[in-house]
Structures are given as C-alpha cells and as structure tokens.
Structure 1
Amino acid sequence: MSLLRTSGNRTDENGVPYWRVMKSNGRRPRVGTNGIDLGIRGIYDKRNMLNDLTGREWIYFLNSVWVTAYPPVADTIGFDVRKVHPSPKPPQLMRDIIHFFTKKHEWILDPFAGVGGTLVGASLAEPQRYAVGIEIVQQYVDAYYEVTKCQGLKLQDMICGDARNVEVLTKRFGREFDLVLTDPPYYDMMNRRKPGQKKKLYGTDKSSPFSALKEDISNLPYNEFLDTLRDIIYSATKLLRRKRYLVVFCRDLQPTKDNPNLIHADIIRKLTEVPEITYRGM
C-alpha cells in the first residue's frame, strides 16, 4: 500500500540524494563475483531480478520513512493542468516507485490512471519504462495528453474506459505486465468538503468528486465499492507476470467517534480474498 512520507529535504544543492554523496571513510566497496561497480551509485548485483538499483539505492528505498517531499506547488510537471483531478499523484513519486519495482523497458499497468501520474512517471524513469493506463473520465485522459505534449514527454498508452473491462481493454497489447501500480478512489472521500491543506491548494473547501458517472466506483455504496475494487484488481493482476508486484495507494477518512474509517485495512482484507494476492506490507 502507500508509503509513509514526511516533508523535508535530504539532498545536496544539486538535488542529489544524500546517499549518493555520503563519504565512504576510505572503505572500498566489495564488488564480489556477481557485482558491477557503478561508481557513486554503488554496486549492482547481476542476480537482481527485480530492478536496476544498486545495493545502497535498494536499502535507501526500503526506509520506512522517506525524508523527502513532492509539494504540488513546486511541481513543474504540468500540475496546473493535472489539478483538474481532485487527487493527482506526483509523477516524480510514481517514477521512484517504478524504479524500484521494474527494470529498464518493462511494462506497468494502471487501471485507475486519473490524469496519468503513473504514465508520466514511466516516461520520467531512466532508462524509460512503458505504461498502459485506463481512466473512465475523458477530461482526465485529455489532461494527460495535454501535459505530455506540453512537457515533451514520451506518449504512453492511455485508454478511456471502465476498469471493470481491464482484460478486454488491454488485450490488444498481447502481453503480461511487470508491475500494477494504481491509485484508486478512496470511496467517497472526494465527495466531502476539503480539509485545510487541500483548501489552501485549490482555493475552496467545496467537495470535488471524481465524476458523476454511475460507473465510477467512488459513487457506489461502501461494501459494493470494496467488492468492485477487489474484482478490478483481481482482473488486473491476472495480467501480471508471476511473482511480480501490485502497489496500491490508499488514504483513510477522518475518524469519527462511531467509526475509525480505516479504509486501507478494509481494502487489504478485501484484496487478500484473492488467492493469488499475498499482502507484503505498507
């Protein structure tokens, strides 16, 4: 599920992560039989089947808390266009997740693509990855195309359609995917009034639902929402290569005295009803 992040800055003046400029105190890295010395990046192990990261990059990614930030106001990747969506994910964050869970030129599927944060992240990845996104709202699809054009990014495959039909919609690609990375609706959260930070960002506390479409799963009753999300994710993971990863973002509602509103816990329980899915942590 989603990673815990805090605001702050642990980079040097050139924006380089601190672990790339740490002094080694004179110690030379041990390359070993299967290692490749990539200089300041560290040692890459040729047995690494998941990604193209070195050992030190891998360890840094596995920190429970990342001391970093992706502030929307500093987002230069078309945020003014992407904010038509009530909850756009930072492409730089999606890029970092893609770097960890895929190798170069691998394929990512996002069945709830929104304004294309995952797709833009795949285009920002170095080396580049390929992505297919499905989004039910045409306005969000159009926003993705506009951002891609304005930023001069590689165009990924964005499909306007219902994620319930993910297997049919992706059939033309004739392939399995290496990662499913998605940020589904958090039930009816966007139908509620905005809290403080969102109010400052958007200049209003009015609710901003994803859409009024009856097919939009955020407009379903809660239990039906959970069942439908499970079924869509199950269909998406049937397109996933064996022993690869599903990464799902989730956010809880504000607790009340009657309900803790731990949506993430309900989603985890619901997704683990699928025999092929094993929960590995958040």
Structure 2
Amino acid sequence: MSEEGIDDGGIEGGGDDDDGESYRQSRLVTDSEGGFDTDRARARSLPVEDGELVDTDDLADHQRYVEGRGIYDERNAVNDLTGREWKYATKSVLAEGYPPDLQHDLRSEHGGQKPPRLCAELIGRFSKADDLVLDPFAGVGGTLLGASLCEHEGSGLREAIGFERVERWIELYGEVLERENADRRARGEPPLADQELRHGDCLELVAEVDREVDLLLTDVPYWDMDEREQTRNERETRESKLGAFAAEGGPEEGSATTKEEWLETMADAFAAFEDVLAPGAHAVVFIGDMYRGSSYEFLSAELAEAIDGGTDLSLAADLIWYDPSKDLHVYGYPHAFVPSMVHQHVLVFRAG
C-alpha cells in the first residue's frame, strides 16, 4: 500500500531485497496537491535533480550523483560543475554586489581592482581544480586571491600566476594576503594559498611560462579613462587611480594615446598570451564601456572585435556583471542623458 502523499506510480519502491541487492527507487514524493515535494524527498534522503527524483541505478558510467549538488558528468572538461550548477552558470548576467571584504581598504589603493569572490566565481565556471590560471595585468591580485578562495569555497585550489609592472601593487598583494590570513587564523579558518605575482612586462614574462595555461582571467587596462564630461558646461580632467596605474606601465599597460593604438596593443598582447593557452582553454576579460565627451565609447564591442579578429581566439560569450551596490551619479542633468555605468562586460574567448 502506498504511503499518504506518495504515489508509487505502479512501480516498486526502492531498497534492498533479501539477498542485499539494491533495486530501483522510482516513487515520486508529492505534496497534498499532487505536486513534487522537494523538501520531503530530501528528508527521505532521496537524490533530487531539477525537481525530480534521481534513479542512481540509471546513471551512466560517466555520471555520479553528488549530494546536494546534482549529477556530475566525468566527461566535463570545462569545469567541476554538476549539470544543475552548469545550468545556473550559463546565466548571461551576474547581478551581485560583493561585500568590501578581503582587506578591501588596502586593495582600494588600486582603483581598478575587481572583487576576489567575483573572480572566484568566474574561475569556477571556466576551470577545474588544480588548473593553472594566468592574469597578465594582475594589479593587486584579485584573480590570485580568487584562485586561492576556490580551495575553501569552490571545487579546489587553482594555481595562479600574475604579471605586474608596478612594484607597489606587488607589495600590496603581499600585505593583503598577510593580513587576511592573520584574520582567517583568528577566526579558526584555514589560510589562503600564496600565489605567484611576478614583476615585469607581461609580453616578456609570458614567454617564461613553462606549462599550459588553463584559464586566462584579467581586467585589461582602460583606454583614456582620465578625462570625462561631467556636466553640460564643465569638462574636468582628473587623475584617477586607474589612470595612475596605467601611467606607470608601458603601452601594454594602457598608455596608448589613441583608441586605435590601444586596440592594436591589446590585440598584439592577446596574440602573445594565446601561445601559452591550452587547447579549449578560455580567456575571460573584464572591460567597461565609457562616456567620453558627448560620445558613448562601446569599448567592449571594439575590444571583442580586435581580439577575435587579431588572434586565433574565438569570442564565445559576452557576460554582464551588474553591481547593484555601485553609486549613481547625476551626469548631464537637466540637458542630456548620460548613463551611470553600473555594469561591466566580461568577454569570454576560447582557444582553438
């Protein structure tokens, strides 16, 4: 006889027979209205995937059920995600404001840094545990911190290498890691792994990488971010933190004088980077658009075209990171609409 709220569907229940052999568990757990009751299924320790019970006996040899995560396919060469997690990761918009943690007060000395947990999220989507991650424009090491976070908040540690021309940012990464690990130990948490941040020109350093890179994740230096139209009647030229960062580097660090030169420089740089990428590896690139004078500069589209056309990397996706915590500004009021940029493009390229 069927238990109340459980529909056998004419098929036997699961368990062990007299000889200890397992047999099928195919009963559906329903609520009072006949719908699938996920909570009851989990309470009965039944595997659930996309609102249905999983018959683990029906899984193929390359599949395994991971408790609380879903079905993992051993043929997955992209990442360590289950099918359920993969489905969520395909969303084209990342709408999350990340808290100012991991010693943000120190890291904010560099104006172009990205949240390490955002980096960890992307690393989890485009790499596997023990993979090698490269950030050729590393700044204060957000990508490196993200790779280390994956050991404790993801599927496993990634080794990471960063290149940086400004010695101060390398020193700051060390200070951040030292202080963060002191705080973690005080909380009884394991420390973050120390990753390698190399000083020098990325175009020279990339030639010294002695193993294939499984993921490139970087925030490229912006073109001409220091001069913007603030109102209809006033133009201010101001030295931004990101501008100060770019000015200390060479052409590949953002000092090209025209947008065309900047795009050419970026294409040449990624042509060099792709030489160390493993076949099928991804290059994930942060880039924001900008408003300059009275013109909207669609830098993301132009950079995507430059890299896709100037290298053997193929554009695979344009993700959007929307930061709901970003401050809004009154630009152009009351005469012209000028957007407050609360999003970044995350261009995803794939190596052949």
TM-score, length basis structure 1: 0.80
Q: Does 1:46 align with 2:82?
A: no
For 2:260 and 2:309, the matched residues in 1 are separated by 14
Distance in 2 between residues matched to 1:262 and 1:271, nearest whole Å? 15
The one-letter amino acid of 1:97's match is L
Identity of aligned residues (%): 34
Give me the whole-angstrom Cα distance separating, in 1, the residues matched to 2:147 and 2:203.
Answer: 23
| Structure with a larger share of its residues in strand | 2
Once the two structures are superposed, residues 206-246 of structure 1 have per-residue CA deviations (whole angstroms, 9 ceiling, x without a partner) of: 62211433615322112221111111111111100011111
1:113 matched residue in structure 2? 138
1:57 maps to which of 85, 88, 92:
85
Select the residue among 274, 278, 281 that pairs with 2:314.
278
Q: Report what 2:29 is aligned to.
A: none
Q: Distance in 1 between matches of 2:311 and 2:210?
A: 24
Q: Does 1:182 align with 2:218?
A: yes
Unaligned runs of 5+ in 1: 1-22, 196-204
- 1:207 maps to which residue? 240
Q: Where in structure 2 are there 5+ consecutive unaligned residues? A: 1-47, 182-191, 231-237, 319-352
1:135-214 equivalences under 5 Å are 135-152=164-181, 153-168=192-207, 171=208, 173-189=209-225, 191-192=226-227, 207-208=240-241, 209=243, 210-213=245-248
Question: What is aligned with 1:90?
Answer: 115
- The alignment covers a number of residue pairs equal to 243
8 Å contact from structure 1 (residues 193, 206) kept in 2:
no
Q: 1:206 to 1:274 in 2, by over 3 A?
A: closer
> Offset of 1:37 from its aligned partner?
0.8
> 1:123 aligned to 2:148?
yes
The equivalent of 1:133 in structure 2 is: 162
Shift >6 Å, 4+ stretches:
23-26
Instruction: Go from structure 1 to structure 2 and tell me whether the alpha carbon gap of 1:138 and 1:28 turns closer, same or farther (over 3 Å shift).
Output: same
Aligned mates of 1:167, 1:66 — CA distance in 2: 30
Partner of 1:231: 268
TM-score (norm. length: structure 2): 0.65
How much does 1:268 deviate? Answer: 1.0
State whether residues 166 and 232 of structure 1, in contact with CA within 8 Å, keep that contact through their aligned partners in structure 2. no
